[in-house]
């Protein structure tokens, strides 16, 4: 069911699609493909909104640090806003220190997506055309993202087709959703008491500008070891150089593949689990992607007023962005993000909500 969320500064209308199941209610906007709310029950059955965001669509346009957005054409960072592909150098807009973040200054998070409700499911399919040269990226990319409620899970299916003719331009692609989670409810304060498990033996250490320094390194012996559940706030003040570089957590964790013994849902292996003891809410993340970026909302500075009317401060949420690794277009030793003409990139992630 769709209604009008409001209009952008130039008068462009923005629609909101509300998906409902017996367990969940999720609202999705056509602006930026934003997940605007997720109403999930606690152990007593009381629902709260567990994602940060705004009631006013113009706040998304003018202030949002990617709250709930679909990000692309390339999620995460590309060093110096530049990469080489097939002997040609491509320069992108620089919008994060010396680097390009989440597709540039006008990435997919700032576009109006075309929406189609699916008749046979609690689902909405969003589509977007990114033309050759969009934010400096080569080749035309046709993108569809489908949000589906399936019982206690929110499933996101991404599809991106390089629409160039045979012999045309290769491109790079990396897509994710950038929801900020607080399982005690948005505006409730710090997620320092949340418990986190990440099924990763390795991570990518980063520089002071959040660019990977090299290959994966073991999490063992570091505050990034979440192979068994750990309270986030017990770790994030440790005097570790990696935490100091980014003001907390903002790191890519190297995930295993399907069939490595991880629990699965719809054929997708488990990547991470978050538990909030007060409400009993549990969030499980399943994905086929090679990485998940754990971000502890280090850049929330107490200047944004959210849906609760409360100010969002540093550490008031966590992000688990399923994706390829940062700066892969400049790292041939990383899993490739190159998409050739007439090829289609597909990936899926499920966010499952339960209680303890």
Residues with a catalytic annotation lie at 178, 321
Sign of the Cα pseudo-torsion (298, 317, 271, 175, in order): negative
Sign of the Cα pseudo-torsion (216, 217, 222, 228, in order): positive
Say which DSSP state 204 is in. Answer: -
| CB-based contact 283:180 (threshold 8 Å) | no
| The residue count for the chain | 356
Say which DSSP state 48 is in. Answer: E
Q: Which of 189, 191, 194, 134 is nearest to 164 (CA)?
A: 134
SS3 108: helix
Distance CA 205, CA 216 (A): 7
SS3 85: strand
Report CA Rg, the chain: 19
- Phi, psi angle pair for 28, to nearest 5°: -125, 135
Give the up-direction half-sphere exposure of residue 252: CA atoms within 13 A in the CB hemisphere.
Answer: 30
- To which H or E segment does residue 61 belong? helix 57-62
């Amino acid at each position: 069911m769709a209604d009008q969320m409001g209009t952008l500064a130039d008068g462009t209308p923005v629609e909101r699609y509300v998906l409902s199941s017996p367990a969940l209610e999720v609202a999705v906007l056509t602006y930026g493909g934003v997940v605007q709310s997720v109403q999930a029950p606690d152990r007593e059955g009381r629902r709260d909104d567990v994602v940060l965001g705004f009631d006013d669509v113009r706040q998304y346009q003018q202030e949002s640090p990617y709250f709930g957005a679909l990000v692309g054409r390339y999620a995460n960072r590309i060093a110096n806003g530049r990469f080489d592909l097939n002997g040609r150098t491509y320069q992108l807009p620089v919008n994060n220190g010396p680097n390009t973040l989440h597709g540039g200054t006008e990435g997919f998070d700032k576009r109006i997506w075309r929406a189609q409700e699916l008749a046979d499911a609690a689902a909405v399919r969003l589509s977007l055309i990114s033309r050759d040269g969009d934010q400096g990226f080569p080749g035309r990319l046709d993108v569809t993202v489908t949000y589906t409620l399936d019982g206690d899970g929110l499933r996101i299916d991404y599809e991106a087709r390089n629409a160039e003719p045979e012999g045309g331009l290769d491109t790079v692609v990396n897509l994710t959703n950038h929801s900020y989670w607080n399982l005690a409810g948005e505006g409730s304060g710090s997620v320092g008491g949340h418990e986190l498990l990440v099924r990763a033996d390795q991570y990518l250490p980063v520089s002071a500008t959040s660019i990977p320094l090299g290959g994966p390194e073991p999490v063992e012996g570091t505050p990034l070891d979440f192979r068994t559940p750990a309270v986030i706030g017990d770790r994030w003040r440790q005097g570790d150089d990696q935490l100091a570089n980014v003001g907390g957590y903002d790191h890519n964790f190297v995930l295993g593949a399907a069939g490595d013994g991880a629990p699965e849902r719809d054929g997708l292996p488990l990547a991470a689990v978050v538990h909030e003891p007060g409400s009993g809410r549990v969030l499980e993340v399943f994905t086929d992607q090679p990485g998940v970026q754990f971000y502890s909302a280090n850049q929330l500075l107490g200047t944004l007023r959210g849906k609760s009317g409360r100010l969002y401060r540093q550490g008031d949420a966590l992000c688990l962005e399923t994706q390829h690794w940062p700066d892969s277009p400049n790292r041939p030793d990383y899993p490739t993000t190159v998409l050739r003409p007439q090829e289609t990139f597909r990936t899926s992630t499920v966010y499952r909500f339960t209680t303890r």
